[in-house]
Chains A and B, each alone.
Chain A
């Protein structure tokens, strides 16, 4: 490593919170730059030496991470205002000071750590699984064509990271919207031949109070999704399925 890269510093500005009930405050840090550094490694530098830009020793910044390769969804945060994964965000491609904020669509636990359990509750609501358990063997399921598998694969990559909910203007305290992630998963489980046995139960959520009626087509979800999941396609298809289901189930009453 050359002397110049060692001397280079990365300026970070973190919006912190000491506890769930605490007040947010900004704190600045400068950490030594390394080539190919990502936001996680910059945060690790703070962990190694938790001294802020004023030279005061402070509590180290809390954040979540697991996989470091954009598949676990834990390190979502707002970096320079926009939500993304800290692991796949390279420091030298960002304007400095780099501002790090928690996704405050979710309840903030501490610093950059948020409680994403809302999305896991949403998966329970939409029955985000394929029912294979019974009191007797149900046999092997139907074959799935390669095209169908390819389409489903995109939705299967959802890592419940929360970027789509954070960027959606209609997911907030004033709106009951369950969010684009749940819509994508409804599409995913409904297109599975065995999963589709619970199709109507999922569509009940889609046409319910928290459902698709809350979508305003800002289409931010598909723009910010780190996995490139076609969430707006899922939403449009669920609009069609939901409209049909709502109309026919009413006409049959």
Chain B
């Protein structure tokens, strides 16, 4: 944990820009490949609400995408690993103080870090149980496999927590991403963006929770 006291700045302007580039890539990775993939994934899983058949058909369709592993690695795995590793680094160099400064944005700043860590733990487990695990053991991923998995109440609660954390992290990430990309500059536009993102959170979280219950 860093201490609160900073060291003196030297009077030479720094010329290294790697931190800036990494921070922009971190934002971009979270919004575009990961954000779009997560929304697609949540929509795919919502098909379970319409029954096992629709769900299994859709899985078969997704698995029929040509060069699927290539897309999975370049558009999901690499951005995800980068976003996670840089995100962990960012959480470790910040010193959250929401216990003293109880402003909404400051609480969300802390939650963004907490939900990021929860999401990472959840995603590792989730990828292992439904992608890498079945791939190695040759098990077919289907509605029944997911149902069996979610029948365990601990796993179910873990899934609810993980999915809601991921959606929170994404929705709040859009509001801060709009600032990182210099779009919402003033407090009024930032307020509107926050309201829209709250709406995104409510819709996606509601859909995800209903989808999870439909597996039971």
Contacts and interface: CB of A to CB of B under 8 A. Distances in A.
Nearest to A244: B182
Contacts of B144: none
Interface stretch (A11-19, A58-66, A119-127): A119-127
A232 interface: yes
B22 interface: yes
Given A106-B5, A118-B8, A239-B180, A246 B17 contact: yes
Contacts of A205: 13-14
Contacts of B1: 174
Contact of A216 (B13, B16, B109): B109
Given A81-B100, A106-B5, A240 B185 contact: yes
Interface stretch (B60-68, B86-94, B126-134, B158-166): B86-94
B137 interface: no
B2 interface: yes
B95 interface: yes
A243 B24 contact: yes
A39 to B, nearest CB: 18
Contact of B109 (A210, A211, A213, A217): A217
A233 B33 CA distance: 28
Contact of B187 (A106, A214, A217, A233): A233
A171 interface: yes
Contact of B19 (A81, A172, A214, A216): A214
B20 A212 contact: yes
Contact of A105 (B5, B18, B23): B5
A167 interface: yes
B103 interface: yes
A213 B97 contact: no
Interface in A167-226: 167, 169-176, 178, 201, 204-205, 207-214, 216-220, 222-224
A213 B19 contact: yes
A158 to B, nearest CB: 17
Q: Among B7, B10, B93, B190, which residue has the most Cβ atoms of chain A within 10 A?
A: B93
Interface in B46-100: 90, 92-97, 100
A170 B8 contact: no
Given A220-B101, A239-B180, A170 B94 contact: yes
A68 B19 CA distance: 40
Contact of B96 (A169, A207, A208): A169
A250 to B, nearest CB: 9
A238 B20 CA distance: 12
A79 to B, nearest CB: 11
A168 to B, nearest CB: 9
Contacts of A223: 101, 103, 105-106
21 contacts: A121-B9, A165-B6, A173-B6, A174-B1, A208-B14, A209-B19, A211-B19, A212-B20, A213-B19, A213-B20, A216-B90, A216-B94, A216-B112, A223-B106, A232-B187, A236-B183, A236-B190, A237-B185, A239-B180, A239-B181, A239-B182
Interface of B: 1-11, 13-24, 90, 92-97, 100-101, 103, 105-106, 109-110, 112, 176, 179-187, 190
